[in-house]
């Protein structure tokens, strides 16, 4: 049972933990899309009858998520490829914020929200900062992802935004088309993070890459690393770096 004032962090399957700095590995092809953060705030929900959100279009995969409890407890929590579900338990009213990281494929996602009678549910979209109230039933959410499919430069520098909050964040590095000594500057959401994990899809779909000279800069507010990747890296090839 997950109780009051606890935060639960769930990472998508396939994330592996690292100790120390990043060396080199194999790039692998994952879902084609862009990582986006959605913060769902649920208030005054009774401890029965809440299933969460089911996506129908615009979402191709989960990268996991977190849950912050203000009150209440849950007996089951899942971040699935097309949904997140949260089943409460106990007798206390449920007040939580669910942060859901998704790979999205366009400027809008649609789906169905399950909001109990008397409760309220809103979603804050990380890319736009817009907060949208959701009712029980179908929804359409603008993602702010209007640059999907744009390849990063092969050389030079690239700034990457790490999406998350004060406890953790995730950064996506695009490998499509390859890279030669590209300097990646990841802007972190706090200054006391360490690199916790790297996620890459299955090895059967990969191109060679390396991450070298990784270090924190600007008082810990940035992580800087040099990327090399084969020109054969396909569209959708990406690495997900998790800091916390």
Q: Which of 142, 175, 201 is the last residue of a domain?
A: 142
Note whether 133 and 154 are same-domain residues.
no
Q: Is 42 left (phi over 0), alpha (psi -120 to 50) or beta?
A: beta
Query: Considering the domain boundaries, does residue 4 fall inside one?
Result: no
> Exposure string (b/e) for 155-190, b if CB count within 10 Å is 16 or more?
eeebebebbbeeebbbbbbbbbbbbeebebebebbb
The distance from CA 210 to its chain's CA centroid, rounded to whole angstroms, is 23
Same domain, 154 and 117: no
Q: Indicate the burial class of 17 (C-beta count within 10 angstroms; 0-12, 13-18, 19 or more).
A: exposed
Residues 64 and 39 in one domain: yes
Distances in Å between the alpha carbon of 20 and those of 162, 194, 225, 242? Answer: 19, 9, 14, 13
Q: Residue 177: which residues within 8 A CB-CB, separation 6 or more? A: 151, 152, 154, 231, 233
Q: Are residues 73 and 110 in the same domain?
A: yes
- Number of domains within the chain: 2
Residues 184 and 221 in one domain: yes
| Residue, of 81 and 8, whose pLDDT is higher | 81
Sorting pLDDT into bands at 50, 70 and 90, what band is 10?
very low
- The parent domain of residue 183 ranges over 16-32+149-243
Q: Is residue 2 part of a domain?
A: no
Q: Are 94 and 184 within one domain?
A: no
**pLDDT tens digits, 30-66:** 445 677 778 899 999 888 766 789 999 998 888 777 7
Concatenating the DSSP letter of every residue in 168-221 gives -EEEEEE-TT-EEEEEEEEE-SSSS--EEEEE---TTSEEEEEEEEEEEEGGGT
Residue 5 is assigned to a structural domain of this protein: no
pLDDT tens sequence across 190-237: 999 999 988 775 554 556 778 888 899 889 999 999 888 877 777 667
Closest to 164 (Cα-Cα) out of 185, 186, 190: 190
pLDDT confidence bin for 136, thresholds 50/70/90: very high
CA-based nearest residue to 165, from 94, 210, 100: 100
- pLDDT band of 12, cuts 50, 70, 90: very low
Same domain, 135 and 196: no
- Residues 24 and 59 grouped into a single domain: no
Query: Going edge to edge, which strands form the sheet with 16-17?
Result: 16-17, 195-199, 238-243, 169-174, 163-164
Query: For residue 107, with 0-12 CB atoms within 10 Å meaning exposed, 13-18 middle and 19 or more buried, which class applies?
Result: middle
| Contact in structure between 166 and 236 (CB atoms under 8 Å) | no
Q: 142, 158, 190 — which closes off a domain?
A: 142
Of the candidates 118, 114, 117, the residue with the CA atom closest to the CA atom of residue 134: 114
Burial of 29 (0-12, 13-18, 19+ CB in 10 A): buried
Considering 92, 116, 142, which residue would you say is the last residue of a domain? Answer: 142
Residue 1 located in a structural domain: no
Examine the domain organization and report whether 157 and 209 are in the same domain.
yes
- Whether residue 11 lies inside any domain: the answer is no
Whether residue 88 lies inside any domain: the answer is yes
């Amino acid at each position: 049972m997950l109780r009051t004032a606890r935060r639960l962090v769930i990472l998508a399957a396939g994330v592996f933990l690292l100790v120390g700095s990043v060396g080199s590995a194999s790039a692998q092809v994952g879902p084609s899309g862009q990582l986006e953060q959605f913060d769902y705030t649920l208030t005054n929900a009774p401890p029965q009858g809440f299933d969460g959100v089911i996506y129908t279009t615009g979402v191709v995969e989960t990268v996991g998520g977190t849950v912050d409890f203000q009150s209440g407890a849950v007996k089951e929590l899942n971040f699935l490829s097309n949904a997140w579900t949260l089943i409460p338990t106990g007798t206390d009213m449920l007040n939580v914020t669910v942060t859901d990281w998704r790979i999205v494929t366009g400027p809008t996602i649609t789906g169905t929200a399950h909001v109990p009678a008397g409760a309220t549910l809103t979603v804050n979209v990380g890319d736009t900062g817009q907060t949208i109230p959701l009712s029980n039933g179908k929804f359409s959410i603008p993602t702010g992802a209007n640059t999907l499919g744009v390849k990063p430069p092969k050389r030079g520098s690239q700034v990457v935004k790490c999406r998350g909050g004060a406890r953790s964040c995730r950064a996506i590095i695009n490998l499509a088309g390859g890279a030669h000594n590209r300097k990646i500057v990841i802007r972190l959401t706090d200054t006391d993070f360490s690199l916790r994990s790297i996620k890459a899809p299955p090895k059967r779909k990969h191109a060679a890459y390396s991450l070298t000279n990784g270090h924190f800069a600007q008082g810990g507010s940035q992580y800087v690393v040099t990327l090399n990747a084969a020109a054969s890296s396909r569209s959708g090839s990406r690495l997900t770096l998790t800091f916390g």
